[in-house]
Amino acid sequence: MAAFFSPPTSAAVKIIAPPRSDGSPALIQSEQLQCVNLKGWDVSSTILRGSGTTEVYEHDPFNPYDISNPNGERESPQQMVQGMQNLHLNEYDTSGNSVLNSIVNNGGVPSIGGMSVRVNGYYSPPLATFARQPLNYHLYTPQTYHSNATKSDNPSASFFMSDDLRQDLTQQSELTRAVPTMTMLNLPEELQGYHTLVPLDSTVAVAGKERRPNFGNWYSSIYKATSATDGFTYALRRIENFRLLHEAAFDVVEQWSKIRHPNIVTMHEAFTSRAFGDNCAIIHYSSRSGASLFHIALIISYDYHPNSMTLFDAHLKLSLQPQRPSNSQPSSSFISESVLWSYISQIGSAIRTAHGAGLAIRLIDSTKILITGKNRVRLGCCGTVDILTYDTRQDTHLLQQEDLLQFGRLLLALGCNNLMAGNNLTKSLENMTRNYSADLKSVIIYLLGKPAPHKSIDHLFDMIGQRLILEVDALEFHTDRLEGELSRELENGRIVRLLCKLGFINERPEFDCDPRWSETGDRYVIKLFRDYVFHQVDESGNPVMNLSHVLTCINKLDAGSEERIMLVSRDEQSCLVDGGTLDNKVQQQWSLYVM
């Protein structure tokens, strides 16, 4: 609990009566005090102002913050400042002098980070348990990232993460929690510890649609599934009618699952299953039982990246569509050079890691590379071909050379916006010359060159070093942006915590009949504050639903703003002006009843 909620703040409680109609300070009579029913207030530090200022100290034995003695006597301001000597307002300051220094430097008025803070006896010696006060926590985190959202467009927008990021994250979270619909029948309920299977491939989801082998000669499909073991969501690739002749084919799983790379979709495990009841019977040979008939599927589990799309879908699909009428929008457009360089460095880096581990990707294809964020790509099914072709083992060096060729073909297809670009190399390279730099063309020519001992992915990185610097810069800008977004959410977390505290305190049903509860003391002010924030009405009596007002009020409350607000009782018979002390009241009430 303590990790989530902040300790008391140091602002003093101050109640100031509204001025008279002629502007002169109000005189508070004892009858008026009765009218707002001060019984039960924490008045130990209450200052009532007006002509003939009255100070009232009433000891509350149940209030841990009340520092007055039972006779109602309290410390003088000098004693209070002396009490401060034991304090560290900044809990991270180990010098022991931070508060004293700030008092001295501010002419006797304590200040933190340039802001004056009012000090009362809450921090005096009898309450040593409240000595550590991380007040910095209550200061605003300034926005560090300047987004396009301007306050004038929508004042509350600056409090929240940007719309595009929120939309992305919401969609991802929604897709992660998606459950199968009625049209997704015939899926196993349980599959070796995975459940709630949802097809990710449209060809599986649409029943009766004609299918073609889509993974070499195999039929493949992919499902989102939840693991019963760890509760995480995974992508299960299913290769239909797979014949596992050697258990050793799965050895490669161990190698691939160890590879953690930001541009490789991590493999977790592989197994065979009959749960799908694959409709082609196959012969399964086992040395112990001999040949047998099984309907078996190979299942490989990978990290699930919600809302991802393949490079093919993103860039090449439209180019395959029949020509549209001339007056319609162009069906495809060329990828910008910077995006292509970004793909080169990301995919190149993934290949480099795999080759460094003695592995080969073996399938660098636009339909198997996922875009999982803005220009963020990941190789999607590393290791699957290794399992499928275990029986026809090949030299790793040759396979790695083949990776480079496939990489070159992919770049050519993306650059020419044509899946078949590799079929006419000369024309495709001419195309590239027209649209892209000579450097890019050289990279593609290098990758498409004949396999040779010196040809390697490392050499490719020697060629593109300069471009990598730009990629690193772009990544760092992106990190800055995300950190900026995160700092906004930090503020929102703070607001939610405060709202939770208000919710816990306001109108607790168990005290409903107790007049000393919500209609008295700090609770009453907190209740009126809640009305002030949420239940205002306009001149026509319609509710004011102004989110900015709510956020501003809650932020001011949390920061202990000195601003004074008029709180009016529901019967409009009494009103209070609170001078920025609500944060203490909320904290005290919260601590009294919850901690």
Ligand X SMILES: Nc1ncnc2c1ncn2[C@@H]1O[C@H](COP(=O)(O)OP(=O)(O)OP(=O)(O)O)[C@@H](O)[C@H]1O
Binding site for ligand X (CB under 6 A): 200-201, 214, 220, 222, 235, 265, 302-305, 308-310, 313, 367-368, 370, 380
Q: Are 296 and 239 in contact (CB under 8 A)?
A: no
- 222 has which bridge partners? 237
Q: How far is the CB of 354 from ligand X (least distance, A)?
A: 17
Residue sitting closest to ligand X (CB): 235
- β-pairing, 15-16 vs 47-49, is parallel
**What 3-state DSSP class applies to 372?**
strand
How many helices (H) does the chain have, and how many strands (E)?
18, 18
Q: Is 303 annotated as a binding residue?
A: yes
Nearer to ligand X, 121 or 380 (CB): 380
Distance between CA atoms of residues 34 and 39, nearest Å: 8
Are residues 244 and 296 in contact, defined by beta-carbon separation less than 8 angstroms? Answer: yes
Nearer to ligand X, 48 or 354 (CB): 354
Write down the least CB distance from residue 420 to ligand X, Å. Answer: 16
70 is in an annotated binding site: no
Q: Any known ligand binding at 330?
A: no
Q: Residue 365, annotated ligand binder? A: no
CB of 220 to ligand X, least distance (A): 6
Angle, helices 438-448 vs 337-356, to 10°: value is 30
Q: Is residue 305 a known part of a binding site?
A: yes
Tell me whether residue 63 or residue 221 sits nearer to ligand X (CB atom): 221
Return the structure tokens found at 15.
């109640």
At closest approach, how far in Å is the CB of 330 from ligand X?
A: 23
- Residue 57, annotated as binding a ligand: no
Q: How far is the CB of 199 from ligand X (least distance, A)?
A: 9
Comparison of 235 and 412: residue with beta carbon closer to ligand X: 235
Instruction: Check the annotation: does 307 bind a ligand.
Output: yes
Asked whether the beta carbons of 297 and 240 are under 8 A apart, the reply is yes
Indicate the residue among 222 and 296 with the shorter CB distance to ligand X.
222
Write the CB contacts of 529 (distance below 8 Å, at least 6 apart in sequence): 502, 553, 557, 565, 567, 578, 582
Q: Which two tokens stand for residue 362?
A: 């073996």
211 vs 455 by CB, closer to ligand X: 211
Q: Among residues 378 and 467, whose Cβ is nearest to ligand X?
A: 378
Q: 248-286 as b/e, with b when 16 or more CB fall inside 10 Å?
A: ebbebbeebbebebebbbbbbbbbbbebbebeeeeebee
Nearest residue to 200 (alpha-carbon basis) of 185, 218, 217, 180 = 180
Q: How far apart (Å, rounded) are the C-alpha atoms in residues 446 and 440?
A: 10
**25 labelled ligand-binding:** no
289 annotated among ligand-binding-site residues: no
Unique residue bearing structure tokens 């005096």: 124
Query: What is the Cα–Cα distance from 343 to 314, expressed in whole angstroms?
Result: 13
Q: Which residues of 29-47 are buried (b: 16+ CB within 10 A; e: fewer)?
A: eeeebeebbbebbbbbbbb
Q: How many CA atoms lie within 13 A of 454 on its CB side?
A: 2
Supply 101's token pair.
Answer: 């220094």
Residue 11 or 370 having the CB closest to ligand X: 370
Contact between 354 and 361 under an 8 Å Cβ cutoff? The reply is yes
Residue 367 is assigned to a ligand binding site: yes
Least CB distance to ligand X at residue 301 (A):
9
Contact between 419 and 366 under an 8 Å Cβ cutoff? The reply is yes
Distances (CA, A) of 136 to 341, 417, 436: 43, 54, 52
* Min dist. Cβ of residue 303 to ligand X (A): 6
315 marked ligand binding residue: no
Nearest approach in angstroms of CB 376 to ligand X is 13
**Smallest gap, in angstroms, from Cβ of residue 523 to ligand X?**
51
CB of 424 to ligand X, least distance (A): 23
Question: Least distance in Å: CB of 258 to ligand X?
Answer: 18
Structure token digits, residue 472 = 């690193």
Contact between 272 and 244 under an 8 Å Cβ cutoff? The reply is yes
With the C-alpha atoms ordered 536, 539, 541, 545, is the resulting torsion angle positive or negative? Answer: negative
Tally of residues, the chain: 595
Q: Which residues are annotated as a binding site for ATP?
A: 237, 303-310, 367-368
Q: Which residues are annotated as a binding site?
A: 237, 303-310, 367-368
